[in-house]
Amino acid sequence: MLVLNFVIYISFLLACVLVVFYAERKLSAFIQDRLGPMEVGPYGAIQPLADLLKMLHKEDIVPAKADKWLFKAAPIVVFIAVFMGYAVIPLNANFVGSSVAMSVYFLLSIVSLDIIGLLMAGWSSNNKYALFGSMRAVAQIVSYEVPIGLSVLAVIATCQTLDLQEICMQQSIYNVAFEARYLFGLPSLGIEVSQMGGILLWNIFQSPVLFIAFIIYFIASLAECNRAPFDIPEAESELIAGYHVEYSGFRFGIFFLAEYGMMLVTGLLASILFLGGWNPPFINIGALKLADYTSGVKGEISSHIWGAFWLASKSIALLLVHVWIRWTFPRLRVDQLMFLCWKVLTPLAIIVLLISAVWRLLMVM
């Protein structure tokens, strides 16, 4: 069972990464009026595989003056930290790798362990750019943990649970039997939507203030993944590539996978916390039971497939927004980065947390 879980999650990760990698190259090309990869396969569709092969062919270089053990261990530490976060992600209504009661807490803490790996990589490379890059990465990730934590807390205050599967279930049409849900979560409005399902049960609709929390989470997750415009840790034009400048071949590939895995896990968490997780966006309208059709029957194979499909497409859509943002904005300066984190996002997140706590009171009244 353990091995099966591992295989399921790693193949889910790899499939999503290949899709996102190809989509990123295509989308960035379209934004810049280019075509992107066109040669390998139809419209360059198997370019990611070609890149993967290229990466595996390359020599694994360890610099002579590097701290060899740390240097070799760093990518593995980063990847393990990120991949462990997947253990608690519910892929659909019936399947979760490890159903922990405090899975949000586990996810946030285990994923932030990857900064140890980043610092190891930067330090052991014995390269000033790598060290600069890793120090910036750590400073940035540690500070952006705060708005992320607060915006996640706003969701937890609304859902009253730390279990990701429970949070998904609350936004689901399967929940009908257990609890009645109202438009914007307010019983006083008197419009019950628990039969309608879809987008109306999503947390950002159940408690509209969570939409701001979602925006905060999204901006902070960009910084958490070192994505542009917060890519100062790997700023190409000043630091070459940041902490992984000395890595090549397979070890670089692991870093790369961990980076995309990190992006995907923040995307998955965002879709679970705010966008209904594995639930479809469609609403039951009268006889047209769109939500029922696209949810499948709980416990059967249809709900497995629909759940994984909706979760993957929501998080991939969020990652495509990452790409859209990446190719639009110039990089922030360090002081601008910290200004945004501490003076804008954090106070806003605290206010949102307060309002969502009040909203929770309105939801139960």
Partner 1 sequence: MGYFKDISEGFSSTIVGLKLSLKHIFQARKSRTNVGIEQDNYFTQDTGIVTLQYPFEVLPVPDNARYRLDNEIDDCIVCDKCAKVCPVDCIDIEAIKATEEIGYTSDGSAKKLYAAKFDIDMSKCCFCGLCTTVCPTECLTMTKTYDFSEFNVKDFTYHYSNLSPEVAQEKRELLALFQKEKELKKGL
Q: Which residues bind partner 1 (CB under 8 A)?
A: 27, 29-35, 38, 324-325, 327-329, 343-344
Q: How far is the CB of 273 from partner 1 (least distance, A)?
A: 23
Q: Could you identify the residue written with the tokens 């419209």? A: 43
Is residue 200 within 8 A of residue 173, CB to CB? The reply is: no
Closest distance of CB 337 from partner 1, Å: 13
**182 DSSP β-pair partners:** 192
* Six-digit token string for 129: 């750019």
Residue placing its CB nearer to partner 1 in the complex, 27 or 268 = 27
Least distance to partner 1, CB of residue 220, Å: 15
Of 27 and 137, CB closest to partner 1: 27
Q: Which is nearer to partner 1, 293 or 329 (CB)?
A: 329
Q: Say how many C-beta atoms besides its own lie within 10 A of residue 80's C-beta.
A: 17
Rounded to the nearest 5°, which phi and psi values hold at 288? Answer: -85, 90
| Minimum CB–partner distance for residue 125 and partner 1 (Å) | 34
DSSP letter for each residue of 255-311: HHHHHHHHHHHHHHHHHHHTS-TTS-S--EETTEEHHHHHH--TTSHHHHHHHHHHH
Task: Please give the angle made by the CA atoms of 347, 337 and 344, to the nearest 5 degrees.
Answer: 15
Residue 119 Cβ vs partner 1, minimum distance, rounded to whole Å: 30
Nearer to partner 1, 14 or 325 (CB): 325
CB closer to partner 1 out of 68 and 343: 343
Q: Report how far residue 18's alpha carbon sits from residue 174's, in angstroms, rounded to the nearest whole number.
A: 32
CA distances from 222 to 219, 325, 331, 365 (A): 5, 9, 12, 36
Tell me the residue ranges of DSSP E strands in the chain: 284-285, 288-289
Q: Which amino acid is at 170?
A: Q
Nearer to partner 1, 34 or 54 (CB): 34
CB closer to partner 1 out of 114 and 231? 231
By C-beta, is 299 or 347 nearer to partner 1?
Answer: 347
Q: Is 202 strand, coil or helix? A: coil
Min CB(33)–partner 1 separation in Å? 5
CB of 238 to partner 1, least distance (A): 22
Q: Which of 177, 71, 186, 194 is nearest to 122 (CA)?
A: 71
- Nearest distance from C-beta of residue 29 to partner 1, angstroms: 8
Q: Could you tell me the maximum CA-CA distance found in the chain, to the nearest angstrom?
A: 70
Compute the least distance from the CB of residue 341 to partner 1, in Å: 13
d(CA 190, CA 129): 60
Q: What are phi and psi for residue 283, nearest 5 degrees?
A: -110, 145
When the beta carbons of 37 and 117 are compared against partner 1, the nearer one is 37
